[in-house]
Amino acid sequence: MVYSPFMSRLLLLCVALAATTVPANAIPNLRVMPPAELVSNSVLIARARVVDVDESDWADFRQMVTLELTDVIEGDFTVTRVRVAAGSLLAYTDDHYSKKEEWLVFLWHDAGFYRTVNYQYGQFKIEGDVVKGWRNGDNVATDKPYYSVREDVERLLTDMRTPPTDPAAPTTTLPPQSGATAPNPQQRLGPSGKPAKRPTVIRPEQP
């Protein structure tokens, strides 16, 4: 079979594309989530210290990490340690932990283990009580003191739990307190602003 120069170039182009194409199912939905979305997708939000890192053959994770929770912001406040599957083998993920590191983590639970929400985008390293790469209201990365980041997370949790108010909803008037009497619009007021007392009429005795 004779190949024309055009067919040869087309064949080479197809081979090159096939070699560089990554399967769609190998790419997770990685994106930088704003803090509000991280909070809403987490079952456990905490400041944690890495105390142990083991190799893992569970699913597509290379690490099984033990985190010591030093400050639980949201979740089970009785839990002091959790096991987190990390080191995903999926393309473009980088959710790795090392011993003695300190992190602010957003975790969700799956198949008996915790996992980091959205892989590396759900973990923020803490250095010198400063959260590195925290996202502000405009979703821009910035370093911020931990106590200030904690306040941000608590505010987002409060907003998430507060039901929205309907401006068209009718307002209710509370009933008067017990023993209180409604003011009479026809009643005269004295100089002090209080209702004036009626004058006492003394009639003379008849002989």
CATH of the domain at 113: 2.40.50.120
pLDDT of residue 165: 75
pLDDT of residue 181: 54
Coil/strand/helix, residue 104: strand
Asked if residue 32 is part of any domain, the answer here is yes
Asked if residue 170 is part of any domain, the answer here is no
Number of domains in the chain: 1
pLDDT of residue 51: 97
Asked if residue 12 is part of any domain, the answer here is no
Q: Which domain holds residue 54?
A: 26-125
pLDDT of residue 30: 78
Coil/strand/helix, residue 20: helix
Round to the nearest angstrom and report the end-to-end CA distance of the chain: 149
pLDDT of residue 139: 84
Q: What is the CA angle 89-94-99, rounded to 5? A: 105
pLDDT of residue 20: 38
pLDDT of residue 138: 84
Mean pLDDT, 10 residues at a time, the chain of 207 residues: 54 46 47 92 97 88 96 96 94 94 96 92 96 90 96 96 75 56 54 56 53
Asked if residue 132 is part of any domain, the answer here is no
pLDDT of residue 25: 40
pTM above 0.85? no
Asked if residue 100 is part of any domain, the answer here is yes
| Helical residues (DSSP H) of 65-201, grouped into ranges | 146-161
Asked if residue 3 is part of any domain, the answer here is no
Q: Which residues contact 55 (CB under 8 A, 6 or more apart)?
A: 62, 63, 64
pLDDT of residue 85: 95
Bridge partner list, 50:
67
